[in-house]
Every structure is written in structure tokens, then in C-alpha cells.
Structure 1
Amino acid sequence: MAIGKLFIGRKVRELRDANRATQAQFAERIGISTSYLNQIENNQRPVSAAVLVALAEKFQINMSELSSGEGDRLLSALTEALTDPLFENLAPNFQELKLVTQSAPNLARAFIRAHQGYKRNGEQLVSLSDSLGRSASLAETTPYEEVRDFFHFVDNYIHALDVEAEALAGELGLGDADSYAALSGFLKSRHQIDVKRSELDNDALRQFDRPSGTLLINRYAPAATRDFQLALQVAQLHVPDLIQSIAREANFRTVEAVEICKIGLQNYFAGALLLPYGDFLVATNSLRHDLDLLAARFGASLEQVCHRLSTLQRPGNKGVPVFFARIDRAGNITKRHSSTKLQFARFGAACPLWNVHEAFEAQGRIIRQLAETPDGARYLCLATQITKSGAGYHSPQPRYAIAFGCEISYAHAFVYADDLDLSAKANFAPIGISCRICERVACPQRAVPPLMRKIQVDHDRRTVLPYTIGEA
């Protein structure tokens, strides 16, 4: 395995502290000098392949965990924050940014959080001139964004919940397309709750009446939605203390964020219960990520399957690293996570050249795209439209596009890549993250200039864009 320069000083130091060893003791165990270990821990020298092997053999750790994607996600978020014109001529270089995310990740997170607060305050001040009401609504999004970042930076995997859900799934015999009887039976036998269909005029997906011990499920909900709502109710009753503990330890700034996080954790448990880790990972590999077959195998929706695939990050037993996003017709990213180098824009719309936008024109089909980002990374991108079913013709039916995919080195694990030529550069469409941070100078779909580049105007010559992009 080819290994580039890997600076993992913080992780090595944490591993040494966990084993209560001095630098001299730890260095002796892995066969290096104390001075070399000191340089590694301070990110003054990278680790060699021999040191990585020694760490894996002596301390039974997975080498892939030493270079997890958390650093990439932090680096991407920090880089995007620093494209703000506020930091013009002050932005550190790539190596300095990498050193910060590796040596002081909490400092990087604090900076990102501070910049988000600055952006929100600026937006609210601007909006005050138009509407005080809009300013209030912007303020209310703060806890939601904070929770979304929490899941993103824990790699969208909550080990304690996942293991607990898998154990209960084994007890109940879940993991196939017939979950309703098992879940409703469990609620009745363990928690004395009767599951009933809702009244005709009740549009709630799920409504729990605690005094009577009655759980009403929308009579028009699809089977996958119905089962998920039952599993969510199980989460509320089966692991409330664990969920409360995880939400509290996240150190959110507001009570609203804690409550929103509880919803996210309940949803996480529900997904892990219906799609138990071990069985789902085996099926994923044997079916080669065929989304339709996985949905049929587990009685789940495509969105539930894609979301669960993005959580397969269990140490020592990881799935293929994927990216996953849900986007509405206006281009808003309402769900997002990436275990790959591809990171989604935190501000602004997604790249218009990305195939996810075409999904709204191809209902019922999974469309494919080979794409390359400005850093040279290549991806297999899948996209499909989903519709949230309503109760009849006149009910609202929200439509979203699901984006899903992997880095091209993993494409062989996907049935969707079987007839694609992955070797020809011409087959890869040039995409970016968003226009405001994309460095492509000749993109015909560019909406706005990149923030960190100057623009030049030639009044005597006009191309697709009314300007050219100059140096930073």
C-alpha cells in the first residue's frame, strides 16, 4: 500500500496516554528512538510505513483508523471558512492548515463555529432592514446546523447506539422485509403499547398517546415509513438514557440543539434497528450496493438505504466510504455526509454540473456520472429522485434528489460501474463543490466568481462569462 506523508502526532500521543506509557517506554515498544517519537507527536516528522505496522501489531489497532476522514472533513470546512473575504491576505497555506487540523482539531472546530456565528450574525443584520421576522427565523436555524455538524464530525457513526440496536434486532429477528409484526409485538409485550392506525383526518405520521398507551400510525404511510416510525418509538422507550447521555456529552450551546440531537439519535437508532450493521454490511457487499435490491431485501426506502450506507463506519469493520446528500428542487442540501474527500458546501448551492440536479428530470431512474473535482479526485456519482408520498391526490408530495457515490478506487464494489470505462479521463465531468470556492476558471455554468480570486473585465471581448478570473 502506497503511503504519502502522514502526520498523526495527536493520535499517537493519545494512544501513548491511553497505555499510560512514557515517551521512552512507548518508543522502545515500537522500535524507534525517543527523539523520533517526540518529533512524531509534535508533527515535526511523518510516520513511516514501518512505524504504522509496529503500531498496528503492538497495540491491535486498525491502520486505516490512524488516517480517518475526520481530518479531511475538518480541513475542508476550515479551508472554506477561510475563503471569506474577511481573511483576505491572511489565509495560511495548505500545510499550515493541515498542521492545525492534525495537531489542534478542537481549535479548528472552534474557529469554524466562530465563523458560522459571524456569518449568521451578518445575515441577520442584513435581513433586519427587510424584515424582523426573517431575522428571527434565521436565528432558529442555529441549533439545527450545530447538530448537523455534530453528526458530520463523528463520521455519522454512533457506536454505542449502533451496537445496542444490532443486539435488539437480533433478539427480535429483524433484518428482513417483515418488521411490522416484530416491532408492534415488542412494543406491546415490553412496553404495553397498542399500535393502531390513525383516524382518516389525522395527518401525523406517528402520534403517541402516553396516558392510554396507544401509538397511532398514519394509515396511508408506506410500509417503509410505517416501520421506521415504529422503530423510532422503540428508540424513545428502549434507550432514552443512552440517547440523553450522548446528547449531553456533545456540549451543545442551547437546549434546542440538545432536543434536535435527540431526534437525530432516535432516527439513527431506528435505522440501525431496521438495517442491523452486520447483516446489512454483508448484504451490501454481496449485492454490490444495488440500492433497489437492498431496499427490497430489508423492506426499506431508497433514502433509508443510502443514509444507512453512509453510517457504516464501525472501527475494524467498515463499509465502503461513501458520500450521501438529499437536495430539494431549490438546491438546498437538507442532509449531507461524506466519508470521502468530497465535501459538500456549507454555504451556497451545489455545483450545477453535478448530476444530482438531473435526477428531478429522470423520475424512477438511478442516473450515473463519472466526475472529477478540481483537486483531481474522481468519483462515481449516483442520483435519483424520491417523492414523500402523501394521503391522496390533493396532499403535498415533497420531491427530493438523493446523491450517493464513492471515490473511483471503490467503484468496483458498485454494480452501477460494471459497464463504465473508468480509465478514460474524457469520461469524467469536471465538477466543483460550489461556485464561491471552485477554482475552475473556464466553467460555463459559473454563477459567481470565486471569493479568493480577482476578476478582470475586458469591455472589448465577451465570452460565456462577462469577466475572466485572475490570480488570488
Structure 2
Amino acid sequence: MAKQKLYAGAKLRDMRRKLDLSQKEFASKLGVSLPYLNQMENNNRPVSAGVVLGLAQEFGIDVTELSTGETERLVSDMREALADPLFGDAAPPLADLRLAASNAPALTHAFLELHRAYRQTHERLASLDEALGRGGQGPGLASPWEEVRDFFHYCNNYIDAVDRAAERFSTGADTISLRARAEAALDRIGVRLRFDESAGLRHYDAESRTLTLSNRAAPATVAFQLLHQVALLCHTDLIEATLDLARFQTAQARDIARIGMANYFAGAALLPYEQFLAAAQDTRHDLERMSDHFGASIEQVAHRLSTLQRTGAKGIPFFFVRVDQAGTITKRHSATLLQFARYGGACPLWNVHRAFETPGRFLRQLAETPDGVRYLCLARDVSKPGGSFHAPVRRYAIGLGCEVRHAAALVYADDMDPSNARAFEPIGISCRICERPDCHQRSVPPLARRLTIDANRRGILPYEVER
């Protein structure tokens, strides 16, 4: 497969501005001509190997930042938005979307916000009851949940200041002493701890300064909830400063994000960055061994693997997703080129949907997306008991994966044959933007392909997708 050229003009330009250098000064230090730098910054030329080397040697820049970030996320989100019937057959080619995402990311974000506003207004008009039930939320605003989801999505699901603060808090502590450390931190500020089944998973009474946790929760859950409360009460300034930078449109979105930040702190403290990265490498990313070592759940470990994006100490780029039994994505993040649909479910050919059929087992899959990128995918069911006979059991499936070029670093690749092209199953993102012409699980036609409809012929689909 031919190596893809690296067009990263916007990122190169941002790096220069952060260094407070003119184009002439930057070009001189990188050893290239001013016109050549100008062409790279405007994506008229790919970033050369010499420039990549110069960025690393001259400025100590982590050059992997040039090829990672939000460009592919923006392209995926635009393709999904343009699949709206509103646009008909007017969708621009993929090359134009990539140019827009890399050259004009602010404009691309504005387009996505505009489409989201249209979509929500359309849904409100279609359901008057729904519109009246939104409590006066103005038209055109993103729903608070979606706004927070997109904030973490475009931050690459890594919040450096919060991550490092959590790591400092947990340094030198094992799982047992980490819980004791969290209890001590709360005790120092006068918070009393009690356990009671009737209070739900966690309840903090600010007036009496009493934190009540469920006495039926698993040890990993108790530790996580303690750390969550430590974040809210002991790291208020850090969390609020981070929320200020996000500039959420509504107070409700800020409140949801505050919970997300506290959850992030708890996860990062339970699985501190450097220790976790070392354990991942030592165990070849064996989720069960890491779960035992850190006293965390399989889902917590899998999610944490997808956040190892610290500059200068990055782990393998993973995608992570959680789906419910209806196939709806409830959590998603990707540090890879594979991006997930913003709305609805995932590709039915993906092994995450089969995980419900094999409880307690890891499913492995070699998969290839329509852009030709190949992945090693893992899937496993995750059940969350309610704690009593009448309490409902919540069932999810989680998916974790990386590009197949990293397969040797994963224990799950043992005995598989990534060199065999026929071993890879075709998967996509969503039917509207997947261009595979012969998928037997297709639910709707692809946006960018013409259809041939013949009433006298019937194959797998009631139409043929032109190749």
C-alpha cells in the first residue's frame, strides 16, 4: 500500500505561531526556502521528511502531532453531516473535505455547528411535544450532552492539566492505599464518609459534608467514586479553569462537563499515566492482567488505553467504543483514523455487536475500512449488575482496536495472520458514508454513489450500487 503524503499546513502554521517566529525565521531554522515553507503551510506541498526532522531536532517538537489530531475527525463528521438528505447529491468529494478540515478547521467547525442547529430545529418542528419539553432551550444551540461530547472528542480525550494532577495525587500508591489516600484527603476538609445501600452509588450532602457510597459496590467502583469526589472538592480551581477555557454555551453543558472532568480525574488517578503506560507495554496490552494489577474494571482499562496521548510519551493510538444492546454508541473515542458516527449505531459487520453472544470472552477481528486502513479489533461484553434481584442489569459491549501495524505489541494478535489480506473483514462507519457497493448488511444507499434500480432483477439489495 502506498504511503500517504502528509499535508499538515494548519498544524505547521500553528507550531510556528506558538514559537513566535516569522515565516522567514522559521524557514531559516528548518533549512528550507521561504516559498517552500509557504507552500507547505498552505497545503500546496506535503510536509517533507527534512522539515519533520528539523522540527524534532531544532525545536524538540513531537512530530507525531502533525499526523494526529482533529483533521480526520472533522472529515468523518462532515461526511456524516453531508449524508443528510438536505444536501441531495451535492456532497463535495473527499479530497475537498480534507482540504477544508486541514486548511480551514474553524470554518469546518462552524459548518458542523450550523448543520447541528438545523438538525435540532428540524427535530423540534417534527415533534411539538419534544420542543415544549426542552425547558426553553434556545433554537440553534447544541444539546448540552452533545456539546460536552464534542469537547472531549476534539481534545483527543486527553486533558493534560487534569491528567497530571491526578497522576501526582496517586504517585506511590497502590490500589488499596489510593483509596485510603482519597479518604484522607476528604477527611482533611471535613467530609465524613459512610456506606449505605439506600443512597444509590454515590451521594454527597454539602450541608452536612457527608459522602455516602453504596455498600454493595465493587472495590474498583468505590475507589473511583471516592476519587471523583476528591476531584470535585479538592481540585475545584483546576476543574473550573479548564471549564472556563471550553466556553460552553449553557450552564447545563458546563455542569455535565464538570462531572466529566471529575470522572477523568478519577480514571487518571486510578490508572496513572506513566505507570499505566509501562504496564501496558510490559503486558503487551493484556487488559485482564492490567485490570488485576490496578484493581480497575476491564472497561476502565480499555478506555484509559485510548487516552494515552501525552506529548512526548504517547502510547499506541487506540479507538474505544461502548454500545448498548440496540447497537447505539454510548461512549466513543478514537486516536486512530477510524472515526465513529456522531448519531446512531456502528457498522453491523463489526465484532462489537457479537460480543453479547459470547459473555466473558474477548472476540478478535481483523478488519479493513473503506479507505484501506486495516485494524486489529477486540470486543467484549460488559455487564453491570444492579445489586439485587429486582434491580435491572445493564449490559453493554466495548470495542478496542488499533491499526494492524501495531499488532505485534498486543497479546491479542498472537496466532493471527495480519499478512493474509483475506483474513480482514470489511467494515465501515455508517451506511450513508460507506461506499462499499456489495455489503449484504447495508440499510440505506451510500451518499456518494449512483444507484441502478431494475424491477426485473433482485440481488442482495433491491438496487445496485454503481462502482
TM-score by length of 2: 0.94
* 2:189 corresponds to which of 191, 195, 200: 191
| 1:321 and 2:311 correspond | no
Change (3 A) 1:325 1:138: farther
- What is the match of residue 44 of structure 2? 44
| 1:268 and 2:279 correspond | no
Change (3 A) 1:137 1:75: farther
- What is the match of residue 198 of structure 2? 201
Q: Contact (CA 8 Å) 1:120, 1:138: kept in 2 or not?
A: no
Query: Following the alignment from structure 1 to structure 2, what is the Cα–Cα distance between the partners of residues 138 and 359?
Result: 41
Note the 1:251-400 alignment, pairs <5 A.
251-400=247-396
Of 425-434 and 313-322, the range deviating more from structure 2: 425-434
* 1:223 corresponds to which of 205, 219, 223: 219
Query: Following the alignment from structure 2 to structure 1, what is the Cα–Cα distance between the partners of residues 9 and 348?
Result: 39
Deviation at 1:125, TM superposition (A): 1.8
For the residue of structure 2 that corresponds to 1:179, the secondary structure is helix
Change (3 A) 1:113 1:329: same
Change (3 A) 1:297 1:110: same
Note the 1:381-420 alignment, pairs <5 A.
381-420=377-416
Query: Following the alignment from structure 1 to structure 2, what is the Cα–Cα distance between the partners of residues 5 and 431?
Result: 24
Query: Following the alignment from structure 1 to structure 2, what is the Cα–Cα distance between the partners of residues 408 and 386?
Result: 25
Q: String of CA shifts for 1:362-383, please: whole Å, max 9, x gaps.
A: 1111111111111111111111
Query: Following the alignment from structure 2 to structure 1, what is the Cα–Cα distance between the partners of residues 221 and 136?
Result: 30
Query: Following the alignment from structure 2 to structure 1, what is the Cα–Cα distance between the partners of residues 135 and 407?
Result: 42
Query: Following the alignment from structure 2 to structure 1, what is the Cα–Cα distance between the partners of residues 156 and 20?
Result: 27
| 1:455 and 2:451 correspond | yes
Change (3 A) 1:330 1:178: farther
Q: Contact (CA 8 Å) 2:328, 2:345: kept in 1 or not?
A: yes
* 2:460 corresponds to which of 439, 442, 464: 464
Q: Contact (CA 8 Å) 1:175, 1:279: kept in 2 or not?
A: no
- What is the match of residue 151 of structure 2? 150
Query: Following the alignment from structure 1 to structure 2, what is the Cα–Cα distance between the partners of residues 175 and 321?
Result: 26
Q: Contact (CA 8 Å) 1:323, 1:342: kept in 2 or not?
A: yes
Query: Following the alignment from structure 1 to structure 2, what is the Cα–Cα distance between the partners of residues 441 and 361?
Result: 28
Change (3 A) 1:4 1:448: closer
- What is the match of residue 178 of structure 2? 179
Amino acid at match of 1:180: R
For the residue of structure 1 that corresponds to 2:169, the secondary structure is helix
- What is the match of residue 67 of structure 1? 67
Q: Which structure 2 segments of 5+ residues have no match?
A: none
Deviation at 1:206, TM superposition (A): 0.7
After TM superposition, what 4+ stretches of structure 1 lie above 6 angstroms from structure 2? 137-141
| 1:123 and 2:120 correspond | no
Q: Contact (CA 8 Å) 2:359, 2:381: kept in 1 or not?
A: yes
For the residue of structure 2 that corresponds to 1:374, the secondary structure is coil
Pairwise CA RMSD: 2.0
Query: Following the alignment from structure 1 to structure 2, what is the Cα–Cα distance between the partners of residues 179 and 392?
Result: 28
Of 134-143 and 336-345, the range deviating more from structure 2: 134-143
Q: Contact (CA 8 Å) 2:116, 2:142: kept in 1 or not?
A: no
Q: String of CA shifts for 1:415-454, please: whole Å, max 9, x gaps.
A: 1111111111111111111112211111111112223334
Q: Contact (CA 8 Å) 1:351, 1:435: kept in 2 or not?
A: yes
- What is the match of residue 160 of structure 1? 161
Amino acid at match of 1:161: V
Q: Which structure 1 segments of 5+ residues have no match?
A: none
Query: Following the alignment from structure 1 to structure 2, what is the Cα–Cα distance between the partners of residues 313 and 338?
Result: 11
Deviation at 1:74, TM superposition (A): 1.4
Identity of aligned residues (%): 51
Q: Contact (CA 8 Å) 1:222, 1:389: kept in 2 or not?
A: no
Amino acid at match of 1:218: S
